[in-house]
Structure 1
Amino acid sequence: MKHAYLSGVLLAVISGMAQGAVSLSGTRLIFDGRYNEATIEVSNRSNAETLIQAWLDAPREDDQPGDTRAADLPFALTPHLVRMPAMGKQTLRLLYEGIGMSLERESMLHLYVLEIPRRSPAVQQLSIAIRQRINVFYRPAGLAGNPADAAQALIWQRAQSANATLSVRNPTPYHVSLQDLRINGIEVAEYRLLAPFSDASLTLPVLGTKRSVPEALSFKAMTDYGGQREHCAPFQGGQPFNVPLRTPDSHSLIGKC
C-alpha cells in the first residue's frame, strides 16, 4: 500500500472507550432469509484516509473476537479489507451460501469492523485502532409470527418464594433485545438479549433491608431498525403475564408505568 498503517501487533484495540471516525449505518443488521445477501454501509467521517478490516464471527461468552479463519460460518463478507478515502463510504456485503443455518429460528452472528488509522509521524503520539461490533440476525423465511410483536409475546412470572425472582420465557423464533428493564421504576437490568425459545431468570430489586413488592414491570424493546418501543404492565400475582406496549393511558391505569 502507498500509505503506512499500524501493524496488527501494535494495535491498541478499544471498544466503547474511544470514538473513531468510522461509523456504521445501523446498530444491528437483519439478514432477511428471503434473499441471499444483506448490506450495511460504512462511512469515514474524518478528513483523513483510513483502513478498515471487517469480519464475521460466532457469538462468544468472553465477548472477544475469535480467529475468523477458523470460524465455520456459511457466509462470505466482502470486502473484508479496504482503504477508505476521507469522507468516503463503503458498502459491506454479507453473502449466504444457502445452507447451514437453522430454518426454525433466528440465528445471531457478530459483525466486527476495525478502524486502523494511518501511522502518525509524531514519535510520541499514540494511534489507536478502534473496533466496533454489531449483532447480525439471520432470519430464515417463513418464520411464524411478527418479529415486531415478539416482546409482547414474552411470558413473565414472579416466583412466590423467599428468594423472589422474575422468570421470563421467549416462546417466539425471534431474538428479543430489552433495555432499561425496571420493576417499580427500579432498574433490574440495563440490557438483556433473549434468544429464541429460551428462558431467563432475574432477581427482584431490594429496598433497604426489605424486598419491594413489585407492582409494575417496564422495559424498552429494540426494533429491527434500532429504535425502541416502551412496554409496561402490572404484575399478576404469581400468574404468568405478558407486557403490552405502553399507551397514553398506562400511567392512569398502572401507577408505576
Structure 2
Amino acid sequence: MKKIFLFTLMLFANVSHASVIMVGTRVIFSSGLTEKTVQFNNPDPQPYIVEIKLTGERENSSATPPFIAVPPVFRIEPNQGQSVRLISSKARLALPQDRESVFYMNFTQIPALKASERNDNLLIIAVKSRIKVFYRPESLSGQQGDAFKLLRFSLSDGKVIVENPTGYYLSVSSARYVKGGHSTSLTDAMMLPPFSKTEWSPAGRVTSLRGGKILITQVNDYGAYVEDTRDL
C-alpha cells in the first residue's frame, strides 16, 4: 500500500529556514488603510502550496480577526513570487483606536507533488510559520520607535516593574540592568502590551535601580534589532 506521511514543522518569528519566505518579519497595518500587500518569494527549485490563516494570539481562539487574506491558498512556482492582500473594511469599528492590536498570520507551505510521485511512499514536511500583524491607529501620539523613552521602571520585592503608558506594543528581544560595571539579565524575548505593567525577574540580586541603567534590545517595525539605553 502506498502511503504519504505528513509532518508539520512550526516556525515562529524566524522564517529564514523555510523555503517560501515572506518579505519582512512583521506587518504594520495602519488604520488609514483598507488593505495591505504582503510579498512571498520561493527561492527553491521546488513548487509549494501555501495556505494562510489569520488568528489571534491563540490559534484555536474563536475570535475572528477583522482581516482576510486574498488569496488564502496559492501555488508558488520555483524562483517566483506571490503577492497577498490583507483586506479589512471593519477594523476601525471593531478594534480600539487608543492602542495597537496584534494578530498573527500563520502560513503553511507544503511541497507540491509531481504526478509521478503521488503513488509513492513519501514523507512530506509541512513548514508552518507565524508572523505578527500589528493594527496601528493613526490617532496614536508619538512614534513607536520612541515609546521606549516613556517606559517607567520601579523595584518591588526584588523584581523590576515595567510600565508601558503608551498605546504601542514593544517587542523586546532582551533587557539588562547595568550598574558599576556589573550586568544583570532581566528578561528574554517578550512583548510589552500597551497600557500594561509587567514584572521582570532579574537573574541576579538587584537592591536599587538608582544610578544604574537599563539596556533594552527591541525589534523595530523593519525587523531590525535596536538597543536603547535608559539612565535611572
TM over 0.5: yes
Secondary structure of 2:124 counterpart: coil
Q: Which residue of 1 aligns with 2:224?
A: 227
The question of whether the paired residues in 2 share the 8 Å contact of 1:151 and 1:221 is answered with: no
User: Structure 1 stretches of 5 or more lacking a match?
Assistant: 1-5, 236-257
* Superimposed CA distance per residue, residues 60-99 of structure 1 (whole angstroms, 9 cap, x where no aligned partner): 2xxxx327xx542222211100011111111111111232
Return the alpha-carbon distance in structure 2 between the equivalents of residues 205 and 76 of structure 1: 42
Higher relative contact order (CA 8 A, sep 6+): 2
Instruction: Name the residue aligned to 1:11.
Output: 6
Greater CA drift, 17-26 or 28-37: 17-26
Residue matched to 1:81: 73
Aligned partner letter, 1:229: V
Quote how far apart the aligned CAs of 1:219 are: 1.3
- Hey, what's the Cα distance between the residues in 2 that align with 1:26 and 1:188? 28
Q: Secondary structure at the match of 1:126?
A: strand
Match of 1:133 among 123, 130, 133: 130
Matches within 5 A, 1:30-45: 30-45=28-43
Q: Distance in 2 between matches of 1:123 and 1:173?
A: 54
Cα distance in 2, alignment partners of residues 12 and 183 from structure 1: 42
* Runs (5+) with no aligned partner, structure 2: none
- Tell me which amino acid in the other structure corresponds to 1:134: I
Identity %: 26
Task: State how far apart, in whole Å, the 2-side matches of 1:104 and 1:212 are.
Answer: 34
Q: Which residue of 2 aligns with 1:143?
A: 140
- The yes-or-no answer on 1:193 pairing with 2:199 is no
Q: Deviations over 1:175-225 (max 9, x none)?
A: 11111212233333221201110110011222xxxx255633211122111
Partner of 1:105: 99
TM-score (norm 1): 0.76
What is the aligned length? 214
Counterpart CA distance in 2 for 1:11 and 1:189 is: 36
Which one is further off, 80-89 or 142-151?
142-151
**In structure 2, what residue type is equivalent to 1:31?**
F
Q: Distance in 1 between matches of 2:153 and 2:30?
A: 29
Aligned-residue CA RMSD (Å): 2.2
The structure in which a higher percent of residues are strand is 2
CA distance in 1, matches of 2:124, 2:42: 17
Does the CA contact (< 8 Å) of 2:184 and 2:202 recur in 1? Answer: no
